[in-house]
Chains A and B, each alone.
Chain A
């Protein structure tokens, strides 16, 4: 099963409140696993938000972001039907994305 990712966008007037949930371990590289070995660093480094294909937010993140990251953003001048895409890329090159239409 693909790792789930979920976006929820609510439109209030011309402002869209966007919340995105990502499934990711966000390993700090300092935690020991059950085998006693250090779990290697594994974390999301880039988060990008696109509105109708145009990049509106570019985030860079560290291993200090909590496991299963949740971000909220706000977009202005948005309207129903606008296409919203969010993607992430981690330090191992894994990536994931999700999209929704504003309603």
Chain B
């Protein structure tokens, strides 16, 4: 079916049938085909090996890592993050929690474990592989980040403010680009991420294999790279700011069945 030939009635019918989450896009077919023939599973496979690999001074694997549903429970765990963890009195997203497990279970130093968080196509990072594996085990689970604890609510509120605050050398906020319906950067459509209909399909498919990098990218990377584009200094990995933005986006997307790791431009 040619996009240009679609009647608006058909457009509307499709949009209704697929629910509000499926915004129509000229790249819809491209995105669908790319997702269908994605190498993303390769990253899940390596991630599984790394999850089970004994590492660090304690020569331990991450298999006993508690991602919020109990030690070693992975099914659906990603879909319930970020959430509050009593043992550290902190809201954590997947990557922040995995770093915590590397330090506690494996006895690794923060410095060593964060040395190379973001990889590249030639050498993806451990965190990227692990994120692919753990996120993949939440496929089919509805996004349900923690919202009951006051710290979780505070994290959401902070994220919401951060989304709109203009900062950095070029005066941008998240909303500078992701603030108005129907806008594009170059030919990329910009989802208005404080609205559920836009946040849902997006958060259901991150982390993701990113075609333009030819490798797997995590949610912390996504936010880190947005700040790079905003010309700010660099956000600290696992910091409250990054977790709060992740919390804000995930709460906005809540209820959407997770279907990642996805594949992106």
Q: Does A touch B (CB under 8 Å) in the complex?
A: yes
Which residues of A pack against B, CB within 8 Å?
Answer: 1, 4-6, 8, 19, 21-23, 25, 66-70, 72
Most A C-beta atoms less than 10 A away, residue of B39, B45, B122, B214:
B39
A6 touches B121 (CB 8 A): no
Q: Which of A6, A25, A68 contacts B45 (CB 8 A)?
A: A6
Which 3 pairs, one residue from A and one from B, show the smallest C-beta to C-beta distance? A68-B39, A67-B214, A70-B37
A sample of 18 inter-chain contacts (CB < 8 A) reads A1-B49, A4-B42, A4-B45, A4-B46, A5-B42, A6-B41, A6-B42, A8-B41, A22-B39, A23-B42, A25-B121, A67-B121, A67-B214, A69-B39, A70-B37, A70-B38, A70-B39, A72-B37
Could you tell me the dominant secondary structure of chain B's interface residues?
Answer: loop
Contacts of A8 in B (CB 8 A): 41
Residue of B nearest to A71 (CB): B37
Contacts of A6 in B (CB 8 A): 41-42, 45
In the bound assembly, the distance between CA atoms of A19 and B214 in angstroms comes to 19
B214 touches A68 (CB 8 A): yes
In the bound assembly, the distance between CA atoms of A103 and B37 in angstroms comes to 21
| Tally of A-B Cβ pairs under 8 angstroms | 30
A23 touches B39 (CB 8 A): yes
Most B C-beta atoms less than 10 A away, residue of A6, A8, A69, A72:
A6
A19 touches B121 (CB 8 A): no
B42 touches A19 (CB 8 A): no
In the bound assembly, the distance between CA atoms of A69 and B38 in angstroms comes to 8
5 other A-B residue contacts (CB within 8 Å) besides A4-B42, A4-B46, A25-B122? A6-B42, A21-B39, A23-B39, A69-B39, A70-B38
A68 touches B42 (CB 8 A): yes
Residue of A nearest to B39 (CB): A68
Contacts of B46 in A (CB 8 A): 1, 4
In the bound assembly, the distance between CA atoms of A70 and B38 in angstroms comes to 7
Instruction: Write the nearest CB–CB distance from A27 to chain B, whole angstroms.
Output: 10
In the bound assembly, the distance between CA atoms of A68 and B41 in angstroms comes to 11
Contact with A along B21-59 (1 / 0, CB 8 A): 000000000000000011101100110010000000000
Residue of B nearest to A72 (CB): B37
Contacts of A25 in B (CB 8 A): 121-122
In the bound assembly, the distance between CA atoms of A68 and B214 in angstroms comes to 8
Residue of A nearest to B43 (CB): A4
Instruction: Write the nearest CB–CB distance from A19 to chain B, whole angstroms.
Output: 7
Residue of B nearest to A69 (CB): B39
Contacts of A4 in B (CB 8 A): 42, 45-46
In the bound assembly, the distance between CA atoms of A66 and B212 in angstroms comes to 11
